[in-house]
């Protein structure tokens, strides 16, 4: 099917696959030009007084960044297509983090609904200031710098690290 299309095709996926890493790799080898990590699903809500189903559209929050950040960092050097980060990008720091993880593109929507499209300028100015302060001339100079493949301790990205960290903590 992709052979008959003359435009680049990207696929937006959810984080709810079993064995997500191999799935991302398989999808990247289908001929798509990019994968967007991750889609947010619409879920209904219940009005318990009126017994009615209502939309429960909620904007992403900055804390939503963590899931896509982790998977972009783990997969950015293991795919045959570009990766775009989505969900939880509300400021230039989040934008920078996704690029450091290895994202080829970063999508943001919720912060634009909240702040207007003029906020794009704020995001880009924050990126430019950070790049200048760090001595980076272009995005390629730092894209993927904090990916798992370039990490001194790749285990920090794995689930087992969670158990090691919290297993030592007294709560």
DSSP 77-100: TS-SSEEEE-S---SHHHHHHHHH
Residue 56 sits at φ, ψ, to 5 deg, of -125, 40
pTM, whole model, 2 decimals? 0.87
How, if at all, do strands 52-55 and 10-13 pair? unpaired
pLDDT of residue 169: 54
pLDDT of residue 160: 53
pLDDT of residue 40: 82
- Quote the CA–CA distance of 171 and 162 in Å, as a whole number: 14
pLDDT of residue 87: 92
Show the domains of the chain with their CATH numbers: 2-168 (3.20.20.70)
- Quote the CA–CA distance of 24 and 160 in Å, as a whole number: 20
Six-digit token string for 112: 């634009």
> Are 102 and 77 within 8 A, CB to CB?
yes
Q: Go through the chain and tell me how many residues it has.
A: 171
Per-residue pLDDT of the chain (171 residues; tens, 9 = 90+): 567 888 999 999 999 999 999 999 999 999 999 999 998 887 889 999 999 999 887 889 999 999 999 999 999 999 999 999 999 999 999 999 999 999 999 999 999 999 999 999 999 999 999 999 999 999 999 999 999 999 998 888 876 556 566 655 554
């Amino acid at each position: 099917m992709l052979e008959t299309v003359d435009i680049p095709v990207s696929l937006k996926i959810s984080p709810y696959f079993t064995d997500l890493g191999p799935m991302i790799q398989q999808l990247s080898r289908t001929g798509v030009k990019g994968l967007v990590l991750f889609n947010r699903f619409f879920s209904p809500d219940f009005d318990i007084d009126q017994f009615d189903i209502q939309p429960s559209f909620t904007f992403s929050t900055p804390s939503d960044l963590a899931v896509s950040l982790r998977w972009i960092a783990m997969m950015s050097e293991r795919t045959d297509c570009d990766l775009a980060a989505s969900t939880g990008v509300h400021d230039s720091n989040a934008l920078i983090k996704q690029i450091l993880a290895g994202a080829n593109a970063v999508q943001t929507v919720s912060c634009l609904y909240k702040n207007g499209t003029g906020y794009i300028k704020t995001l880009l100015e924050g990126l430019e200031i950070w790049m200048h302060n760090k001595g980076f001339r272009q995005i390629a100079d730092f894209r993927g710098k904090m990916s798992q493949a370039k990490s001194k301790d790749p285990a920090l990205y794995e689930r087992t690290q969670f158990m090691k960290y919290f297993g030592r903590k007294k709560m």
